[in-house]
C-alpha cells in the first residue's frame, strides 16, 4: 500500500491530489496535526471538490494558512474545452502547472451516464503507427496528482447540474502501464469511498501489451477491467503497426491475458481499431477468433478516427459488419463501438498537437468553457 511512497511537489509545495489517505495522514503529522485532519482534508478535496484551502471551513484558520504555504490543490489549469454538437462528447485540454505541458481528457455521454477518458503521460513512446499521441514521442510521465486532477476538474464542471462521472477509462495519451506506480496510486485515490468513490469495476485500464506490467497488475488486488489494444490477429501485421509487438509478441501477450483473467476473474476487453485494407479482411477475423477463443473476453471493433499525417482510413461499415458477424458465429462477444467526438478531434493527442502548432506559430490557445 501507499504511505512511504514519495509524493509530487510544485515549487516545493506538496500536491495533495496525489496523496492517498494514508499519505495525507503522514503529511498532516509532519505539520503537527492529528490523523483525523487528513480525513477532513481528503473529503474537502474529493467529496466537496474544494479548490481553495479557505473553503475548508471546519479546519482552524491557522491550519488553512499553513496549508496554503506548504501544499497545493490544483496542479493543472483548464485552458480549452470543446463539445461535439452531435453527441455531447466534451474534450478538455489542461496545462500542467509544473512545466506548462498539455494533456487531454475526454468526457463521453452514454445512456448509462458519463465516462471519462484520462491521460497518464505527456505524449507517448510506444510508436503505434496510427496514433496521434506518439507523434513527437514521450515527454514525461504524469504524476498521480496530475492524473487525478483530470477527474476532479471535470467533476467540478458537472457538479452544478448534479451530474456525476460514473466510470473511468484510462485510455488517453500515453501507455498507462509504463507509468505504473502513479497509475496504481491514482486508482486507489479515485476508488476511496471517503472521496470520489468510483468503483474499480467501473474503471478500465488500457495497454498496448506490456507483458510484465500486466502480470504485476494481476497481483495488485484491483479488479479493474484490462483493455488490450490488439488491432491485429498475427505478429506480422501487429509488428508493422505496433512496434511493441516485436518486444512482446502475441504468444507472450495472450499468456499474460490468461494469467490476468485467472488471477482477477475479470473479462479482458480486446480493442481492435479497424483500418481499411490493413487489418479488416474476413480471413483476419477468423484468425482473431482462434487467437482469443479460449479467453473470457469481449472484442470492441472501433472505426478508425483519421489522424492528419497518418495514411490510414477507417474500414467501410459493411466490412466491419462482416468482420463482426464472423466473430459472433465463432461464439465471441463483440460490438462495433459507436464513434464519438468526430467534430472535436477526439482521437488521442489531436487537440494537443493543434495547440502545440498554434503555440509555435505564436497564436495563443483560446480558453473556452
| CA–CA distance, 292 with 330 (Å, rounded to integer) | 11
Q: Among 117, 124, 128, 348, which one carries the catalytic annotation?
A: 348
Q: Which of 104, 175, 178, 271 is catalytic?
A: 104
Task: Give the residue from 37, 317, 8 showing the smallest Cα distance to 181.
Answer: 8
User: By three-state DSSP, how is residue 50 classified?
Assistant: coil
Q: How far apart are CA 37 and CA 28, in angstroms?
A: 7
Alpha helix (H) residue ranges in 31-118: 36-46, 61-70
DSSP 315-368: PPHHHHHHHHHHHHHTT--EEEPPP--GGGT-STTHHHHHHHHHHHTTPPPPP-
How far is 303 from 358, CA to CA, in rounded Å? 28
State the virtual CA torsion across 17, 83, 360, 145 in degrees, nearest 10: 10
Look at residues 315, 334, 323 and name the one whose alpha carbon lies nearest to residue 268.
334
Q: What is the DSSP letter of 175?
A: -
H/E stretch holding 20? none
Question: What cell was used for 71?
Answer: 501544499
Q: Are 18 and 145 in contact (CB under 8 A)?
A: yes
Pick from 118, 105, 125: nearest CA to 144: 118
Helix locations, the chain, DSSP H: 21-30, 36-46, 61-70, 144-158, 180-191, 211-218, 235-241, 244-247, 250-264, 282-292, 317-329, 350-360
Can 348 be counted among the known catalytic residues? yes
Q: Which residues are catalytic?
A: 104, 348
Amino acid at each position: 500500500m501507499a504511505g512511504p511512497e514519495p509524493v509530487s511537489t510544485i515549487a516545493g509545495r506538496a500536491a495533495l491530489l496525489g496523496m492517498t489517505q494514508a499519505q495525507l495522514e503522514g503529511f498532516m503529522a509532519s505539520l503537527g496535526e492529528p490523523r483525523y485532519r487528513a480525513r477532513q482534508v481528503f473529503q474537502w478535496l474529493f467529496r466537496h471538490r474544494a479548490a481553495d484551502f479557505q473553503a475548508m471551513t471546519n479546519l482552524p484558520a491557522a491550519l488553512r494558512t499553513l496549508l496554503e504555504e506548504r501544499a497545493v490543490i490544483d496542479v493543472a489549469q483548464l485552458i480549452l474545452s470543446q463539445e461535439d454538437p452531435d453527441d455531447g462528447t466534451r474534450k478538455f485540454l489542461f496545462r500542467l502547472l509544473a512545466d506548462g505541458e498539455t494533456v487531454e481528457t475526454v468526457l463521453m455521454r452514454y445512456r448509462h451516464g458519463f465516462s471519462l477518458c484520462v491521460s497518464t503521460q505527456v505524449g507517448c513512446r510506444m510508436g503505434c503507427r496510427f496514433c496521434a499521441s506518439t507523434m513527437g514521442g514521450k515527454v514525461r510521465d504524469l504524476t498521480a496528482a496530475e492524473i487525478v486532477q483530470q477527474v476532479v476538474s471535470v467533476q467540478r464542471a458537472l457538479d452544478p447540474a448534479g451530474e456525476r462521472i460514473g466510470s473511468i477509462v484510462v485510455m488517453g495519451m500515453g501507455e498507462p502501464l509504463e507509468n505504473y506506480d502513479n497509475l496504481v496510486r491514482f486508482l486507489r485515490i479515485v476508488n476511496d469511498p471517503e472521496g470520489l468513490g468510483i468503483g474499480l469495476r467501473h474503471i478500465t485500464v488500457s495497454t498496448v501489451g506490456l507483458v510484465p506490467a500486466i502480470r504485476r497488475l494481476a497481483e495488485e488486488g484491483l479488479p479493474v477491467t484490462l483493455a488490450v489494444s490488439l488491432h491485429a490477429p498475427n505478429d506480422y501485421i501487429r509488428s508493422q503497426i505496433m512496434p511493441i509487438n516485436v518486444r512482446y509478441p502475441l504468444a507472450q501477450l495472450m499468456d499474460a491475458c490468461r494469467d490476468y483473467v485467472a488471477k482477477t476473474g475479470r473479462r479482458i476487453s480486446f480493442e481492435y481499431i479497424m483500418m481499411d485494407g490493413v487489418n479488416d479482411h474476413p480471413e483476419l477475423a477468423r484468425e482473431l477468433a482462434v487467437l482469443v477463443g479460449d479467453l473470457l473476453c469481449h472484442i470492441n471493433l472501433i472505426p478508425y478516427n483519421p489522424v492528419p499525417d497518418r495514411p490510414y482510413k477507417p474500414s467501410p461499415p459493411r466490412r466491419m459488419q462482416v468482420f463482426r458477424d464472423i466473430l459472433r458465429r465463432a461464439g465471441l462477444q463483440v460490438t462495433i463501438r459507436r464513434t464519438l467526438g468526430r467534430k472535436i478531434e477526439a482521437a488521442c493527442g489531436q487537440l494537443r498537437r493543434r495547440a502545440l502548432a498554434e503555440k509555435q506559430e505564436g497564436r495563443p490557445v483560446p480558453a473556452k468553457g
